Structure formats: C-alpha cells, structure tokens
Amino acid sequence: MKKIFLISAFTLFVGMGLNSCEVDGDCGTKTVSGELKSLNKGPEGGCYYINSNGNKSYVDRSDCSC
C-alpha cells in the first residue's frame, strides 16, 4: 500500500509541471550593461534579475526560457 501511495504522490508532483525552472527559478541569462545576469521567475510569473544594488529588475517575460 505504501508503494502505491508513493508512486501516486510522485506522479502527482511530476504531473503538476514542477520542472527545475519553476523550483529553482533559473530561467536563462541576459546581458545587461555588458554583464551576464541570471534570470529568475517570480511568484506571479514575472521575469527578473538581481541588479548591482541587490534589487529585482524586471525584464520582458519573453526573455525568460521558462
């Protein structure tokens, strides 16, 4: 019974579409002012990088690969 439950839970987790992009927030890179910035996906689907001041700078969602 436990094996069936674990398989079902795993299937549900995978079926929800939780890929590494959504979990880790890694959505590619973008060159900004000559520097390569790592893009992240925010909680509402926005795409951003962390600027030199440590703040989020949002970019167009089409720049993200997730």
pLDDT tens digits, one per residue of 23-50? 456 899 999 999 999 999 998 999 999 9
pTM of full prediction above 0.75: no
Residue 1 falls within a domain, yes or no? no
User: What is the percent of the chain with per-residue pLDDT over 70, rounded to a whole number?
Assistant: 62
Is residue 47 within 8 A of residue 64, CB to CB? The reply is: yes
Indicate whether 8 belongs to any domain: no
Is 52 part of a structural domain of the chain? Answer: yes
The count of domains in the chain is 1
pLDDT bracket for residue 21 (50, 70, 90): low
Domain that holds residue 32: 19-59
In sequence order, which ranges of 1-66 are alpha helices (DSSP H)? 2-15, 20-24
